[in-house]
Amino acid sequence: MKANKHPFGRLGDSARFRLWLNRRVPPQKEITLKLRNIFILPSRQGIFFSLLMILILIAGINYQNSLAHGLAFLLMSLFMVSMLHTYRNLSGLVLSAGRAGRAFDGDEVDFTVTLSCAAGRDHQALKVCWLDHLVTQADLIDKSVSVLRVSTIAGNRGWFDPGRLTVETRFPLGLFRAWALLDLDFRALVYPNPIAEESPPILDEGDSDDFHPVRGYSDDFAGVRDYLPGDLIRDLSWKATARLGELMTKEYSASSGAEIWLDWYQYENISDELKLSHLTYWVEQFSKQRKPFGLRLPASDIGPDLGENHRRQMLRALALFGLDQT
């Protein structure tokens, strides 16, 4: 489900409005919704409802009809009570920043937001989202705590700030829309977009005088394993594939003392961003194949190793390469 456009329309894109909003609702890891940070306006249905009230009231005055007067005042009372309940449905709600996910450039990135009740009352029909992205819905009943996963589309590599989170409700009658624009001080690490290529940029012996000589694979056949996306066609074991009915890949043992290094300097005549995308692809492939490997970049080297921490260390180095970010 898609979110609506900015609640304040074009005004929400102005620098002056953002400056005012930052002063009124500063970034915090935990925010309690109250009068200062809740906005409320009639919805489209509420505007039609108010026009109907006015028409009935005008008709009652014009024709001196007490029944029309009574109906108009009844609808007006319902309108005002609805506004109060819509505001109270957000008031007292506590939002806390949780874990920020990791993603590749252009993919969805998840953030966790914890919703709880400070005032000990129910909060129903809540919608939580970033502007123009997927909406997450929630209800807090009987003083419950709800942990939501809110998604948005990751930006360019590096640290990604998703902007202000929108929390809104139209409960109970949909005549009013109450919302808050909150900055929970989130940021997520976005990795370069992996782009496949035919062969990895492995540093060979003799390519560098001041660097440890390394090799990719030896010619010693070690067995076969299940095919993984990105495996080279020349490494497919067609006999095993025909026998088992599914793609199988040949595995070769590494030479004694040999190391695999992904080397930045193996690329020529392509942009730095494309180099980072290719290296990200090979980091993912070697991690899936559980092969010890290292990464050589202009500013730093990461020695050969295995495991998820090693993978994340390499992806972080690629994500922040050349950026003034930590």
For 171, residues 6+ apart whose C-beta sits below 8 A from its C-beta are 85, 86, 89, 124, 125
Question: Mean pLDDT for each consecutive 10-residue tract of the chain (326 residues)?
Answer: 53 73 88 92 95 93 90 94 94 90 88 84 88 77 83 88 90 94 90 90 56 42 68 76 82 58 90 94 88 88 87 93 78
Whether residues 43 and 126 fall in one domain: yes
Is residue 72 one of the residues assigned to a domain? yes
For 159, residues 6+ apart whose C-beta sits below 8 A from its C-beta are 187, 188, 189, 190, 320, 325
pLDDT of residue 177: 95
Which residue among 138, 163, 191 closes a domain?
191
Q: pTM higher than 0.75 for the full model?
A: no
Whether residues 169 and 297 fall in one domain: no
Single out the residue of 107, 89, 238 nearest to residue 178, CA to CA: 89
pLDDT of residue 133: 66
Is residue 236 one of the residues assigned to a domain? no
Name the strand (E) or helix (H) holding 240.
helix 238-244
Is residue 272 one of the residues assigned to a domain? yes
Which residue among 171, 191, 211 closes a domain?
191
pLDDT of residue 221: 62
Name the strand (E) or helix (H) holding 262.
strand 261-263
Whether residues 113 and 259 fall in one domain: no
Single out the residue of 272, 101, 278 nearest to residue 194, CA to CA: 278
Q: Residue 154 carries which side chain, given as an amino acid letter? A: A
Whether residues 167 and 29 fall in one domain: yes
Spatial distance between the Cα atoms of 75 and 94, rounded to a whole number of angstroms = 32
Whether residues 258 and 187 fall in one domain: no
Domain count, the chain: 2
Structural domain boundaries, residue 307: 254-319
Is residue 198 one of the residues assigned to a domain? no
pLDDT of residue 129: 86
Contact criterion met (CB below 8 Å) for 232 and 250: no
Spatial distance between the Cα atoms of 195 and 47, rounded to a whole number of angstroms = 51
Task: Assign 26 to helix, strand or coil.
Answer: coil
